[in-house]
């Protein structure tokens, strides 16, 4: 969800104002995904590298998260959306950790869609913590075991990764999980990303041929069979 700061800067507003608008965009995106039958939505809210941003921006983001939890969780619960926070909670305050657990508990029984919010998350951290978990248990580090120990093992690997803001990189997001995801880059800044932009991404995805290492002929034969 890239481009909040640039969106605000173009309007001569503080960067935090862009993040506030980004929350509104996320609300629209969640609603649109539910309406289109998406079963899992994973969003990158705060990376492990974002701590290096200006202190006032970081504190503003933390405050925004706290307010969003208070305001949004009842709506998510009502709409059947299960909320899961993914990331290193050791770097968060005790109050924030308790708030995340409480929000997860309040939506734990929902099954219409899973909303994963990656908060204090990094793809390299995820792989490292999964390997450490296996090493501590004495379990052999195989591809299947490592995948099962990642922080997103509760959902399938993503079919589609969308990045907004015009940058064409994944910036340490879902490095393990996106091995065969289709990548889609939008020039829209995140606060401007709406249902029409989502539909454009889904339409582009529908045109892709997903081979997973196979040839086009094999894929065609499998579809016929």
Within the chain, what is the greatest distance between any pair of CA atoms?
Answer: 58
Residue of 4, 50, 56, 126 with catalytic role: 50
Alpha carbon distance 221, 225 (integer Å): 6
How far does the chain reach from its first CA to its final CA, in angstroms? 39
Residue of 2, 4, 116, 120 with catalytic role: 2
Q: How far is CA 6 from CA 142, 181, 189, 190, 191, in A?
A: 42, 27, 8, 10, 10
CB 27 within 8 A of CB 38: no
CB 15 within 8 A of CB 8: yes
Question: Positive or negative CA dihedral for 122, 127, 133, 135?
Answer: negative
Alpha helices in 11-163 (DSSP H): 15-35, 55-78, 94-107, 123-137, 143-149
- Identify whether 2 is a catalytic site residue: yes
- Identify whether 116 is a catalytic site residue: no
What residues are labeled active site? 2, 50
């Amino acid at each position: 969800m890239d481009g909040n700061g640039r969106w605000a800067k173009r309007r001569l507003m503080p960067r935090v104002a862009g993040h506030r608008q980004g929350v509104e965009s996320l609300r629209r995106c969640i609603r649109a995904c539910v309406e289109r039958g998406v079963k899992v939505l994973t969003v990158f809210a705060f990376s492990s590298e974002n701590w290096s941003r200006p202190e006032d921006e970081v504190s503003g983001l933390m405050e925004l998260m706290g307010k969003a939890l208070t305001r949004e969780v009842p709506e998510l619960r009502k709409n059947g959306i299960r909320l899961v926070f993914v990331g290193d909670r050791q770097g968060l305050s005790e109050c924030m950790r308790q708030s995340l657990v409480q929000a997860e508990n309040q939506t734990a029984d929902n099954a219409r869609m899973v909303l994963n919010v990656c908060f204090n998350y990094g793809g390299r951290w995820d792989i490292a913590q999964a390997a450490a978990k296996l090493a501590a248990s004495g379990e052999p580090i195989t591809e299947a075991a490592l995948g099962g120990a990642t922080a997103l093992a509760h959902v399938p690997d993503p079919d589609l990764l969308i990045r907004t803001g015009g940058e064409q990189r994944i910036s340490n997001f879902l490095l393990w999980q996106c091995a065969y995801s289709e990548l889609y880059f939008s020039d829209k800044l995140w606060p401007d990303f709406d249902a029409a932009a989502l539909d454009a991404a889904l339409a582009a995805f529908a045109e892709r041929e997903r081979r997973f290492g196979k040839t086009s002929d094999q894929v065609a034969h499998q579809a016929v069979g």
